[in-house]
Amino acid sequence: MTDNIPLQPVRQKKRMDSKHRGGCCECLRCCGRRDPRPRTVWLGHPEKRDQRYPRNVINNQKYNFFTFLPGVLFNQFKYFFNLYFLLLACSQFVVEMRLGALYTYWVPLGFVLAVTVIREAAEEIRCYMRDKEVNSQIYSKLTARGTVKVKSSNIQVGDLIIVEKDLLQIRSYVYAEEPNIDIHNFVGTFTREDSDPPVNESLSIENTLWASTVIASGTVVGVVLYTGRELRSVMNTSNPRSKIGLFDLEVNCLTKILFGALVVVSLVMVALQHFAGRWYLQIIRFLLLFSNIIPISLRVNLDMGKIVYSWVIRRDSKIPGTVVRSSTIPEQLGRISYLLTDKTGTLTQNEMVFKRLHLGTVAYGLDSMDEVQSHIFSIYTQQSQDPPAVKGLTLATKVRKTMSSRVHEAVKAIALCHNVTPVYESNGVTDQAEAERHYEDSCRVYQASSPDEVALVQWTESVGLTLVGRDQSSVQLRTPGGHILNFTILQIFPFTYESKRMGIIVRVSMKFIFKDESTGEITFYMKGADVVMAGIVQYNDWLEEECGNMAREGLRVLVVAKKSLTEEQYHDFEARYIQAKLSVHDRSLKVATVIESLEMEMELLCLTGVEDQLQADVRPTLETLRNAGIKVTNRGEAHLELNAFRRKHDCALVISGDSLEVCLKYYEYEFMELACQCPAVVCCRCAPTQKAQIVRLLQERTGKLTCAVGDGGNDVSMIQEADCGVGVEGKEGKQASLAADFSITQFKHLGRLLMVHGRNSYKRSAALSQFVIHRSLCISTMQAVFSSVFYFASVPLYQGFLIIGYSTIYTMFPVFSLVLDKDVKSEVAMLYPELYKDLLKGRPLSYKTFLIWVLISIYQGSIIMYGALLLFESEFVHIVAISFTSLILTELLMVALTIQTWHWLMIVAELLSLSCYIASLVFLHEFIDVYFIATLSFLWKVTVITLVSCLPLYVLKYLRRRFSPPSYSKLTS
- What does each C-alpha distance from 634 to 20, 52, 631, 684, 685 come to in angstroms? 23, 41, 10, 8, 11
Helix (H/G/I), strand (E/B), else coil: 287: helix
Q: Which residues pair with 680 in a beta bridge?
A: 632
342 carries an active-site annotation = yes
Q: Tell me how far apart the alpha carbons of residues 736 and 720 are, in angstroms, rounded to a whole number.
A: 9
User: Are the C-beta atoms of 158 and 176 separated by less than 8 Å?
Assistant: no
DSSP conformation letters of 21-51: ---S-S-TTGGGPPPP--EEEETT-TTS-SS
N-term to C-term CA, the chain = 58
Whether residue 645 contacts residue 663, with contact meaning beta carbons closer than 8 Å, is answered with: no
The answer to whether residues 246 and 703 touch, using CB atoms and an 8 Å cutoff, is no
- DSSP codes joined into one string, 849-868: HHHHHHHHHHHHHHHHHHHH
The helix (H) or strand (E) run that includes residue 608 is strand 603-614
Catalytic residue among 342, 452, 723, 823: 342
Grouping H, G, I as helix, E, B as strand and the rest as coil, residue 507 is strand
* Helix, strand, coil percent values for the chain (each to nearest 5): 50, 15, 35
| SS3 state of residue 212 | coil
- The identity of residue 832, as a single letter, is Y
Q: Map residue 615 onto helix, strand or coil.
A: coil
Total length of the chain: 973
- C-alpha R_g of the chain: 36
Give the helix/strand (H/E) hosting 827.
helix 826-831
Assess contact for 247 and 70: CB atoms under 8 A: no
Which among 954, 772, 955, 783 has a CA at the least distance from the CA of 868?
A: 783
Which backbone phi and psi does 497 adopt, to 5 degrees?
-65, -25
Identify which of 912, 874, 919, 921 has the alpha carbon closest to the alpha carbon of residue 892.
912
Q: Let me know if 263 is exposed, middle or buried by CB neighbors in 10 A (0-12, 13-18, 19+).
A: middle
Backbone torsions φ then ψ of 516, nearest 5 degrees:
-110, 135
- Cβ of 150: how many Cβ atoms within 10 Å? 16
444-447 and 466-470 strand pairing: unpaired
CB of 179 within 8 A of CB of 28? yes
DSSP, collapsed to helix, strand or coil, labels residue 131 as helix
3-class SS at 508?
A: strand
Instruction: Give Cα 598 distance to the centre of its chain.
Output: 42
CB 417 within 8 A of CB 527: yes
- What three-state secondary structure class fits 442? helix
Task: Give the separation between CA 636 and CA 924, rounded to whole angstroms.
Answer: 79
Q: Where are the beta strands (DSSP E) in 762-915?
A: none
Other CB atoms within 10 A of residue 600 CB: 11
CA torsion, points 361, 363, 364, 366, in degrees to nearest 10? Answer: -170
**Cβ 814 vs Cβ 916: under 8 Å:** no
Edge to edge, the sheet with strand 705-710 lists 323-324, 742-744, 724-728, 705-710, 336-341, 631-634, 680-684, 653-656
DSSP alpha helices (H): ranges in 638-756? Answer: 638-646, 657-666, 668-677, 688-702, 716-721, 735-739, 749-752
> In angstroms, rounded to a whole number, what is the distance separating the alpha carbons of residues 50 and 575?
35
Please list the active-site residues. 342
